[in-house]
Chains A and B, each alone.
Chain A
Amino acid sequence: MSVGKDIAHDSGIGHVTGESIFIDDRPEQRGELHVGLVLAPVACGEVTNIHTADALKHPDCMGVYTYKDFHHQKWGPIIHDQNFVCNPQINYMAEPVVIIASTRRESVEEIKRLIKLEVKEKSGIFTITDARKAESILSKASAPFIQGDVEEAFKKSKHVLEGHFACGGQEHFYMESQAAVAYPLEAGQIEVHSSSQHPSETQRVVAEALGLPLHHVVCVVKRMGGGFGGKESQGAPIAAYAALVAHKLKRPARLILTKDDDMKITGKRHPFEAEYKVSFDESGKISGLKVLLMSDGGAYADLSSSILERAMFHMDSAYFLENCHIDGVCYKTNNHSNTAFRGFGGPQGTMAMESIIEDIAQFLKKDATTIRQTNLYQGNNLRTPYGQILENNMLPDVMNKLLDTADYKARRKEIDEHNKKRSGTLRGLSVTATKFGIAFTARFLNQGNALVNLHLDGTLQVSTGATEMGQGVNTKIQQIVAHVLGVPSKDVQVMPTSTEKNHNTSPTAASSGADINGAAAKNAADMIKGRLTELAKKVFAGEPADAIKEYEIMKGELDSDIVFENGKVTQKSSGKEITLKDLIGKAYFNRISLGAYAFYKTPGLGFDKVTVKGKAFNYYTQGMALSEVSIDEYTGEMKVLRTDILMDLGRPINPGIDRGQVIGGFVQGMGWVTTESLYYDAKRNLVSHSPTTYKIPNVQDIPRTLNVDFIDNPDNDVNVYGSKAVGEPPLLLGVSVWTAVKNALSYRANGKNSKLKSPATQEEILMELERIR
């Protein structure tokens, strides 16, 4: 039985030997061209003239293209407001302006330097504060989430606190930068290989850019060297640039961004700010919360409105808000167009709430953990601000077990003692939660399709819309299909994702890759199994089939009496069995289909966008993390001493892969709130555009002790094989490191309010220490 096993990643051997093929590993084809982008030198303004003559004289230069060469000049995942290249308005620093094609990789930079741009610079808007003043808005929440009566609660409550929270953006830092190679096919058709989480969107964007019908464009994704949301929408224009060159010059064309250009051009996690007013009683029980979430969407709409919405959905973190008013606005600035990033607004909403809890604790001089316990969703308090009731709520169990196994009380006491004696180090301890809603909040995206082909030797090929970016979705799909037909998982090969096999696919995003595509693959495998079941019954019953009479199978149905296991098909009631391979042979010679295409849509979703009430999510993935930090009071240097994580993942399809997702997500979240600082100069050049200056966690930065466990949840039955989505939820737990810093600083606060921002870089920590000291 394959499901539930900790089998190795399906590309594991390819990865460790270097044999796995990524976009730029594809051998160069005859006549292939190398594509380069010339970027805007100002953050706001207009391109008034482009001098291309010198570039065109370069012997290796085969073409120079501007906005005029695109069939449609705009693209966008929700609304088409983003220019492929400046047309001629410049809306952010390093926005692509010109596309060049070179016969040699080595000449690309040289040719780019021969293009001379004349620009007229205008003053831009770069911060939420400035955008707010200028009322420069990209989108607003359709309506605030309102529960109870928050104004009434403020009047009646003993304590009311007002505050401000701010967190920075985050670079995805996928190891493989944006990349695509396009091959012109016959009759003007085109095949694009892209490092993309969303092949269908890439297919559409390429078609629109070139003015082709969709059936003349195929997008193929074998794998990505990391995605994290950064290749959900923003891989598409990169593919379009390569496709434009391939289409114009009828030669293969490859565009591989350098890490520096990638970091400058592409959008990042949205910086958020929150203004809040919260009321509570002496125990810290929250009676009312009014909050306005504000995000920096950057220059274009991209996915910003959905991201703002998800931030609002997660503003409750894991706490019941009887009276609340949650609103949001996304501002338009002259920054790179911010985009999806693992968590999709959820981390920002959750972090704002966890920060508020720390503020309440500091105000009441109480342990923040007690305040979290008091406010946690539990008992009958299970209604979210948008009216969805938490089912199978594991939060109280998770919290109790985590605090117990991680020895919370004793450690808190020890830290209280340690911080009293001024030794030069300051310690902090904090627990935070993730209660991540699983489903695309855009309902139509919760659909998927799958194609399963069973071959005569009993091996299978599976194709779905899921894209593999390291998260192991292919391995899970492999396990699901192997499980259905009772074959070893090595007999199932998950094929490259391609729009010619799977149509109108959703992005591999919202943690739902395995949920939707795994369920679709299971449906397809079940269809084949149904036919084979019916055939097996006829065979076991001794029904004859020969040159004249063949077995007739219609739809076929599953039957618990017919078991597919270990390459055999057995009738439990009679004890008769046949090898799967023999049964397949009979099916083929009797003209019974051994392939199936199936569809899946997530059932039961019903969120009303007008009333902003209803079932937005299929279920929640829940978990908590307890982190302890130590701070050098002289330098602000921070170390994470220990983190304990407990997650509810239902019944994991592959516990080993899920463990990797939990730890990887946590560390990425930790990076966001600690060392990952985006630094811009006055002209809005991103100065931290490579790992020398942009510091993602390295091997020495992870918690000195890291304990990860899953809580048993045999009752979960809402998703494929009772599993739960795992991609994004653990990222939110990185917040516990930031709140632990905040907790540590509270020991020196002397009654001053915390102004700690995220990321809590060494500088942020030291300067905050200086301020409160």
Chain B
Amino acid sequence: MRNSIILFVNGEREELSPENSFMTVAEYLRYKKGLTGTKVVCSEGDCGACTILVSRMREGKLGPYKSINSCISFMYLLDQSHLITVEGLKKNNELHPVQKAMVENQGAQCGFCTPGFICAMASLTEDAKKEKFPLEEKRVKNYLTGNLCRCTGYDSIIKSGCSVQLNTVPELASFYDDAKIEKDLATLKGSVRITHGNNSVFLPASVDEAVLEKKDKSPRLAGGATDLGVVYNKGKLKLNDVMSLNNISSLYSVEETGTHLVVGARVSLDEVEKKTAKVFPDFSNNLHIFASPQIKNSGSLVGNLVNASPIADTIPFLRVAEAEVVLRSTSGERTLNVNTFIKGGYKELDMRADEIMTHIRLPKTKHSYKLYKVSSRRDLDISTVTMAVRYRLNGNVLEEFSLALGGVGPTVLRMNQIESKAIGQYFNQALFKRLATDVKASIKPLSDVRGSTDFRLTLCHNLMLKFCDEVMKENNISFQEISL
């Protein structure tokens, strides 16, 4: 068993001391490596100033370079990776084309957010080159959704991104000797355990090792740490005993069977967005405004579900889609419907302390979906209210109807009673006006920073009407005027 974290930073090999292994990535880079280009502003993955690029070893190869928020990630989570920081993008005294473009287009004012934007933009040009898409405004914006700037108003930054000539952009793999890095990292086999003071982390190499550890010590699981990193930084949580599944290759795959799409525990939300585009286009689209690229590159679908927040953006979909979860322990495997897995209370799940979730299975069916997310700001914001509907029309009759609401109770709610009132009814505005009123009467949302009780009630009411009008329009069911 290895007892140190090994990775590369800007092409240089690092074998971390136990102490350094427990640092956040941003702290390590800034205070141990002196790479102060990586900035920390919010310490919660919401501003992107700490963005770096990471390529992780998978099956003996370095994977694609993806942007992540280094302030909420831990060094131990990046074992067997290659990190490129803003400093590393300038090679042999030559600026990276995105750096040049940002200088020429006045893309930097105060400069504090700039390194994060540079890394996010380098991720854009890297993907654009590989996936062969043009650097048009919409793409540029999508890659910069996770970066806040208070000076420029973004216009000059967008122009910088659009002005880059892709043929001048070198692939990141060519920046440093990736083949050599791969060769080195490929020699690392087996699991890793590190302890320092009160802290310990275990990185199993297989699910079997993971479930054994879970049974013996019941450590906390950290994957992308997009939530754990935040609560840790804000002093609300100590992370003493941690296990990460990051080194288990088999959990990184999405498999399509005849009946299901099976998503492994370590599949990032970014990959889920891509892999569900054909089978669940509405869900894939919904993930589009879910969080930032940096968060989607780190966070996983399993993580979002197990974290079980009442405002988790994927859970309403998972509930109406009748997703199944696969739980593993030393005593075997359980597969549960997500609607029984999620119990009524706040973060209350049918999951034992010795279990880990290895997969989510999405059943492929011929239903239609509509997914809504309402937040103070459209992108990169935590939801005020979410709503997911799965339905099937037979002519004008609503044959099937499943409804889930988030942000209005201690957990994401499946609205069974509303569903039974709707099923078998003619699809018309009168029905949904009644249902909207019923929905309002059957929930008791709280008032908080994201919205008052009244606002949330009105939203749920109006989303029912919006759903109705949209479906009528799409199905050419004639109506006089909108339901409002």
> A residues touching B (Cβ–Cβ < 8 Å)?
6, 8-9, 11-22, 24-25, 27-28, 105, 109, 172-177, 223-228, 258-260, 422-424, 469-472, 632-635, 637, 639, 656-657, 659-660, 663-668, 675, 677, 679, 687-688, 690-693, 695-702, 706, 708, 761-763, 766-767, 770, 773
Contacts and interface: CB of A to CB of B under 8 A. Distances in A.
A660 B109 contact: yes
Contacts of B152: 660, 663-664
B31 A105 contact: yes
Nearest to B90: A17
A177 to B, nearest CB: 7
Given A16-B102, A22-B39, 20 more contacts: A9-B103, A12-B103, A16-B107, A16-B114, A17-B86, A17-B95, A173-B148, A175-B113, A176-B41, A225-B112, A259-B41, A471-B109, A633-B482, A664-B151, A687-B449, A691-B148, A698-B379, A699-B158, A702-B153, A766-B459
Contacts of A700: 141, 145, 378-380
Interface stretch (B249-257, B339-347, B351-359, B462-470): B462-470
Contact of A663 (B87, B153, B382, B482): B153
A225 B235 CA distance: 25
A660 B156 contact: yes
A18 B36 contact: yes
A699 B454 contact: no
Given A8-B106, A18-B36, A766-B455, A696 B148 contact: yes
Contacts of A472: 109
A254 to B, nearest CB: 12
Nearest to A11: B111
A654 B444 CA distance: 56
A175 B458 contact: no
Chain B CB within 10 A, most for which of A173, A226, A227, A701: A226
A688 B44 CA distance: 13
B118 to A, nearest CB: 6
Interface in B88-112: 89-90, 95, 98-100, 102-104, 106-112
A25 B448 CA distance: 37
20 contacts: A15-B102, A16-B99, A16-B103, A16-B107, A17-B95, A18-B37, A21-B36, A22-B39, A22-B111, A22-B112, A172-B150, A226-B112, A226-B150, A668-B150, A690-B42, A691-B47, A692-B230, A763-B452, A763-B455, A767-B454
B2 interface: no
Contact of B482 (A8, A12, A16, A423): A423
Contact of A8 (B104, B111, B452): B104
A225 to B, nearest CB: 3
B85 interface: yes
B37 A19 contact: yes
A175 B112 contact: yes
A15 B452 contact: no
A699 B106 contact: no
Contact of B38 (A15, A18, A19, A423): A18
B374 A635 contact: yes
Interface in B40-85: 41-44, 46-47, 49, 85
A692 B227 CA distance: 12
B364 interface: no
A659 B86 CA distance: 26
Interface residues of B, number: 82
Nearest to A16: B99
A13 B378 CA distance: 33
B176 interface: no
Given A692-B46, A763-B452, A767-B458, A226 B151 contact: yes
Interface string B417-450: 0000000000000000000000000000000111
Nearest to B372: A635
Interface of B is mostly: loop
B112 A637 contact: no
Contacts of A172: 150
Contacts of A175: 39, 41, 47, 49, 110, 112-113, 148-150
A664 B235 CA distance: 34
B143 to A, nearest CB: 9
Nearest to A472: B109
Given A660-B156, A666-B153, A767-B458, A17 B106 contact: no
B481 interface: yes
Nearest to A730: B153
Nearest to B137: A704
Contact of B153 (A424, A664, A688, A770): A664
B109 A695 contact: no
Contacts of B131: none
Nearest to B385: A635
Contact of A637 (B95, B102, B148, B374): B374
Contacts of A22: 36, 39, 111-112
Contacts of A665: 153
A161 to B, nearest CB: 29
A698 B112 contact: no
B381 interface: yes
A424 B462 CA distance: 11
B299 interface: no
A660 B379 CA distance: 23
B114 to A, nearest CB: 4
A573 B92 CA distance: 49
A174 B455 contact: no
Given A470-B151, A701-B377, A767-B454, A692 B109 contact: no
A164 to B, nearest CB: 21
B206 to A, nearest CB: 34
Given A422-B481, A424-B466, A706-B155, A9 B148 contact: no
B234 A16 contact: no
B466 A635 contact: yes
Given A9-B109, A423-B482, A27 B95 contact: no
Given A175-B113, A226-B110, A18 B87 contact: yes
B369 interface: no
A405 to B, nearest CB: 18
B451 interface: yes
Nearest to A174: B150
Given A174-B150, A424-B466, A635-B459, A688 B449 contact: yes
Interface pairs A-B: 3 shortest CB-CB = A18-B37, A470-B110, A225-B112
Contact of B42 (A28, A259, A637): A259
A493 B281 CA distance: 55
